[in-house]
Amino acid sequence: MDVLAKFLQQLINGIHVGSIYALIALGYTMVYGIIKLINFAHGDIIMMGAYFTFVCIVTFNLPIGVALITPVILCLLSGILIERVAYKPLRNSPRLSALITAIGVSFLLENVFFKKFGQNPIPFPQIINPSPISLGPLQISRITFITVLISVLLMILLDLFIKKTKPGKAMRAVSEDPGAAQLMGINVNSTISLTFATGSALGAVGGILYSIAYPLIDPFMGVMPGLKAFVAAVLGGIGIIPGAMLGGFIMGIAESLTKGYISSQLADAVVFGILIVVLSLKPSGLLGKNVKEKV
Amino acid sequence: MNSRLKANIINTTSIILIYIILVLLIRIGFINNYYEGILIEMGINIILAVSLNLATGYLGQLTLGHAGFMAIGAYTAAILSARMNLPDLPLLLVSIVLGGLLAAFFAFLMAIPVFRLRGDYLAILTLGFGEIIRVIILNMKITGGGKGLSGILPLTSFSTVYFITVITVTIFYTLINSRHGRAIISIREDEIAAEAVGISTKYYKTFAFTLAAFFAGVAGGLFAHHTLVLDPKDFNFIRSIEILIIVVLGGMGNLTGSVLAAIIITILPRLLMGFADWNMIIYSVLLIAMMLFKPGGLLEKREFSLNGLLSGKKKSHGNTPVKNEGSE
């Protein structure tokens, strides 16, 4: 029973981290789906979300509701701004130039926050009471409950948004064929902006949830979760929204199980190992369709 | 043939001249230890950039794991040189070549899964391999793990780096202008068409990837005997990205561009030191600005040629003719 309890505990931890990865991965996958760009600056949106929340709560002492909504809006606007300034002029350039620009934006954001807040990690305020809820032999922290709840809720909302609403349909149309979408009267530019806005807002929520789970924030905190979320997006099939969710959960669970049973240092290697195995078997990710090339 | 010979003479003379001038400047102390270190780093970055350019610029496969191969070369060379009993120069050469060979061997193994994939999937897979190499090094005893590997012999000198860099660039230049080079470029241009005219894409992809990894390993070996302390953190994916920045900045599939960009990217952070804690912010803004205004890279498609410059046939596209490899 003990063995099972430990396993379940690790599994729950995995779902906790996995739901955060999934939220972040959605931002990567949506942006990739629409403009085929690996948005390296997305990891730093996570960091910005965390810092903005910190400033709202600690510096300005805003009520908790406002302090959680403001950072999301700020990140959403930054996402749009970044796309307009740094990526839009390069839409018809070689794809690698846009990639390097994304890396440049990432360096810029990291170093601006580095200059403003310094290198040392800052403790993140406690927003959720961490006292655990007991379920039989299992101890589940309230943080886990709320994180998973919020993530799943957001994912359902996103799914409805993409499938049922007009702007959501426009997003899918542009990602399928921007030229044809434009001919059908869709405003491609504003749809791309909308994609960045949605992705960045989800990233900000992911960042806040991440810093609640690991309450130390520093200017480079977005790099590792960003990278793992990106791997999650690739694992599920990049550009495919349910794939990002699935990939996120797989990554989180694999990481947590490795930390619990093998070694915490090897967790990163295992995560990438899974990626390599999956891509060797399914070259376009778990849910990706293998497109046959026509000559 | 005559113009070719002339170009070769001009290039060889200028390479030797630049070398003599730099060595003289080091001797009289005009270039102190600090600047000599920067020159060595320049050479290492040139080797890394030129080799990555083969895989990414000429073969057209975006790889984000170059630092992993550099790490294999660096650690192998450092561990071997500490255990072999040879005079300095052969010791360095043997250990960096062995380091390069091991890196190439791993690249060869990776080529099998890697080249089943295309585009960004391939990029992320190589990133994964690079990170796995780093984590494994972090967890091995012989590499010193997280504490790093210290006590490496100081074998890298300006002269060795200079000549190894020249040799590397020459090898890549010759390769790219050969039949094999054209085969590699044809894969970038159109893989299916290349296959249709009888080019074994599998063979050339593996070949280019392995060769790039070999030189990354050599650069790693030079790096190890220059910094004398190795830390797995030196080889994380940010490092791979730095090399990629050099390649893209110089222009994809442009060797002279890579050389020029490697020089700029090595000097730039030092020039910005004066701005204290603003330096990285300025660096990233410059990076974004350069990409926005010159998306094709500094030299774009045009190779810089000293010979062309002298005979006045072509306009120059760079101010510092530091190293170049002949006319087109």
Question: CA–CA separation, B70 vs B52, rounded Å?
Answer: 11
pLDDT tens-place string over residues A2-18: 888 888 888 999 999 99
Chain-chain contact of A94 with B285 (C-beta, under 8 angstroms): no
By the CB < 8 Å criterion, does B284 face chain A? yes
The whole-model pTM stands at 0.87
Q: In the predicted model, is pLDDT for residue B311 greater than 70?
A: no
> What CA–CA distance (Å, rounded) separates A261 from A229?
22
Residue B305 has pLDDT above 90, yes or no: no
- CB-based contact (8 Å) between B32 and chain A? no
Q: Give the separation between CA B162 and CA B42, rounded to whole angstroms.
A: 9
Quick one: pLDDT at residue B88?
Answer: 85
User: What mean pLDDT comes out for the span A113-138?
Assistant: 83
Q: Do A111 and B284 touch (CB under 8 A)?
A: yes
Query: CB of B241 within 8 A of CB of B234?
Result: no
Give the CATH number of domain B2-311. Answer: 1.10.3470
Examine the pLDDT at A295 and tell me if it is beyond 70. Answer: no
Q: How confident is the model at residue B312 (pLDDT cuts 50, 70, 90)?
A: low
Least confident segment among A49-53, A97-101, A108-112: A97-101
Tell me, what's the pLDDT at B324? 40
φ, ψ dihedrals at A224, nearest 5°: -70, -55
- Structure confidence at residue B323 as a pLDDT band (50, 70, 90): very low
The answer, for A116 touching chain B at a CB cutoff of 8 Å, is no
Angstroms from A24 CA to nearest CA on chain B: 17
Q: pLDDT digit string (tens) for A62-98?
A: 888 888 999 999 999 999 999 999 999 998 888 888 8
Chain centre to alpha carbon of residue B80: 22
* CB-based contact B287 A107, cutoff 8 Å: yes
The C-alpha atoms of residue B278 and residue A117 are separated, in whole angstroms, by 13
- Measured over the CA atoms of residue B124, residue A119, residue A252 and residue A21, the dihedral's sign is negative
pLDDT band at B327 (very low <50, low <70, confident <90, very high): very low
Provide the pLDDT confidence category of residue A1 given band limits of 50, 70 and 90. low
Q: Taking CB atoms and an 8 Å cutoff, what residues of chain A touch B71?
A: none
Q: Which residue of B has its CA nearest to A237?
A: B121
Beta strands in A175-267 (DSSP E): 216-217
Taking an 8 Å cut-off on Cβ atoms, the answer to whether A234 and B280 are in contact is no
Q: What backbone phi and psi angles, to 5 degrees, belong to B282?
A: -65, -40
Q: Structure tokens of A136?
A: 């039989």
Chain B touched by A220 (CB under 8 Å): no
Nearest by Cα to A207 from A13, A28, A44, A55: A44
Residue B149 pairs in a beta bridge with: B230
